[in-house]
Amino acid sequence: MSEFVIFNYEHPHVVNLDVREQVRDIFFESSSKKDFKNQEEKDSFLWKYLDFYLTHYSEFAWVALSKKKVLGYIIGMPLSSDPKLYEIQPHMKKFENLFSEYGAHLHINCHADARGMGVGSKLVTHFMRKLKDHHIPGVHIITGPESRNKEFYRKLGFDFECEREGMCFMGKKT
């Protein structure tokens, strides 16, 4: 389980394995939102925080694979001031003035069996390296002000924090 390789979501090996189902399972299992009024609401949630990125920004989507098992994934985009994103995640606009420094953002989730083993750190480091290659100056995540996962990001060097309207923005320069 501890040995894994990071592949881009569009890598032929990943496409061949067809990992969509596994990634979706990790997404829903990791999410704090568990109740959906109907299928439409569930689909829209999936689009907003997963499929949007896989569809429009697969260049910035990676999975950590141990043989055929997905241990975790990271998705994101290099510049968050995208009107397509604002349509589905209007809260992003509230942090727009910080995008000149921390313009990229990411979402990461690991399989429940694979947490605390370094998979998440390696995925973030990989993502950061790619941003640097693209000359993107910084990245952010948005989480809850009291969320436990803030510690994970702090340990990875997300040293800028800003709270607005019940959300915590954490940034790191590449």
Ligand X SMILES: CC(C)(COP(=O)(O)OP(=O)(O)OC[C@H]1O[C@@H](n2cnc3c(N)ncnc32)[C@H](O)[C@@H]1OP(=O)(O)O)[C@@H](O)C(=O)NCCC(=O)NCCS
What is the contact surface with ligand X in residues (CB under 6 A)? 30, 108-110, 115-121, 141, 143, 148-149, 151-152, 155
* Smallest distance from ligand X to CB 81, Å: 20
Ranked by CB distance to ligand X, the top (closest) residue is 120
Q: What proportions of the chain, in percent to the nearest 5, are helix, strand and coil?
A: 45, 25, 30
Closer to ligand X by Cβ: residue 15 or 31: 31
* Smallest distance from ligand X to CB 153, Å: 8
Closer to ligand X by Cβ: residue 27 or 99: 27
* Smallest distance from ligand X to CB 118, Å: 5
Cβ(76)–Cβ(56) below 8 Å = no
CA atoms within 13 A on the CB side of 70: 26
Closer to ligand X by Cβ: residue 15 or 91: 91
Cβ(76)–Cβ(106) below 8 Å = yes
Residue 62 to residue 85: CA distance in whole angstroms: 20
Closer to ligand X by Cβ: residue 15 or 155: 155
Residue 148 to residue 144: CA distance in whole angstroms: 9
* Smallest distance from ligand X to CB 135, Å: 25
